[in-house]
Amino acid sequence: MNLKMIQRKKKICLKCGHKRYIYAKGLCGYCYQDQATKKAQERAKEKARLNPKPNKAQFVLRKPTGEAAMFELIWEHKKPHVSAVSNKPISEYEYRTRKCFAHVIPKKQFPMFRLIEDNIEYLTWDEHTFWDNRTEEELQVRINKGEDWGYMFRREKELKDQYSLLYER
């Protein structure tokens, strides 16, 4: 079986006028790539025009809440650095990113207890995320795994009772 290969012929590029192999749409490879790059740049400019990025002046600096200083004091004085739920050690990364400091009662709902040391417990990053976003189903799963969340729920009830005595009259 003798197959003949199709011979490519050089043709004149519609854009640059050079005799080269044609890539697509009557253009040589160089001109086609150049045209594609220009189209991509135009699309990027149009996208930027339609969705402008906010100016740096539009960003508002948040006022310091005092939490960072309080977390430093707690870390220095409250030892050992282990989770209140699992007794797992708190990693240096969790400390530096402040993921290990969990508010027992939510600071948004109970703003006067935001900077109260009794309202802060050490939790691992995973436990902290669960505590802030817990659902009944996930709580049951964690209890079935053997995790003891009773301490956190008792602390939550005690602090809510204290808060209601002090601020809700």
pLDDT in tens, the chain (169 residues): 566 777 778 888 888 888 888 888 888 888 888 888 888 889 888 888 887 766 665 566 778 889 999 999 999 988 899 999 999 999 888 888 888 999 999 999 999 999 999 999 999 999 999 999 999 999 999 888 888 999 999 999 999 999 999 887 5
- Please, which residues bridge with residue 102 across strands? 121
pLDDT at position 57: 58
pLDDT at position 94: 87
Spans of all domains in the chain: 11-57, 67-167
Could you tell me the pTM of the whole model? 0.62
Cis peptide before 111 (omega within 30 of 0): no
Report the amino acid identity of residue 67. E
**Cβ contact 83:90 at 8 Å:** yes
- 72/79 Cα distance (integer angstroms): 12
φ and ψ of 70, to 5 deg: -65, -40
